[in-house]
Copies of this chain bind each other. A is one copy, B any other.
């Protein structure tokens, strides 16, 4: 297997080095063909690596004096954060020194900087954000998650092409089952853009189109990829996360209400912990930015080391199985 070089933005995200360093070390120890270029404040990185065990011949550090803040205005960062770890990591990708970038930083800034540094593929207005959502079959890829607000049928068709390519590459599914998110399954439902997209996608012989699904069908085992505009996708993702944490908090409160509840709650701990591991988004953390000239994987801003490591694993898979080539083939570029 050819060697694999990834750039990891070591500084961004809520936890910065506290998640990027352990994730990098684990990834190196698990993958003997992986090389990582850590981008960030060199003295801090050196300090954080002290005492860690790994093959140092496969790790290098590229100094970056600045970092994009989570609350930076994305468009401003293009002028003000050119010496940030995020920007320099993208430049390494553009210059062919690495094959992919992983960052847990500010999503808007990552999208904006990727468009400027890497450029978009021909015909793509803005990269789409695609992430897996837990479902009965493991997970469902959902896109776009917020980069593209008003989408026409052509964009939705592109999302379908790129999302299918991603699922094929990362999960090895020959013909990912693809659906459009709508408010009913009848052909007459939804906006003109969604109805027109259905016609275009159904006519695309390279796609395995299954029709419309509703919000609740995201969790079924019947679809692998669900396509929607960035407004609906963002609402869906946030409602999903919000419902899960609402249920968790209500259930915890219920167990704490009585002594009996606290006792049973104590006994149930190992089961609840195993359940939480099952549906822990960190297990398959990592959103892909699709439609760029290069592979960019976004770890969740709040990623702990495990989530960050999943994002590194995704980036490695994307490179190994030629995500970029697959997407361009699907888009007929």
Contacts and interface: CB of A to CB of B under 8 A. Distances in A.
Contact of A268 (B184, B219, B264, B275): B264
A234 interface: yes
Interface in A186-240: 190-191, 214-219, 228, 230-232, 234-240
A239 B218 contact: yes
Interface stretch (A1-9, A242-250, A323-331): A242-250
Contact of A232 (B231, B237, B245, B247): B231
A111 to B, nearest CB: 13
Contacts of A254: 271-272, 274-275, 278
A270 B244 CA distance: 21
Interface string A244-273: 111101110011011011001101101110
Contacts of A241: 215-216
B236 A236 contact: yes
How often does this chain occur in the complex, in copies?
2
Contact of A216 (B150, B231, B238): B238
B218 A242 contact: yes
18 contacts: A149-B183, A183-B230, A183-B238, A190-B231, A214-B234, A215-B235, A215-B241, A215-B242, A216-B242, A217-B242, A219-B242, A228-B235, A239-B243, A243-B247, A254-B278, A257-B274, A260-B270, A261-B271
Interface string A168-195: 0000000000000101100000110000
Which bucket holds chain A's interface residue count? 35 or more
Interface string A44-75: 00000000000000000000000000000000
Contacts of A216: 238-239, 241-242, 245
A254 B181 CA distance: 29
Contacts of A286: none
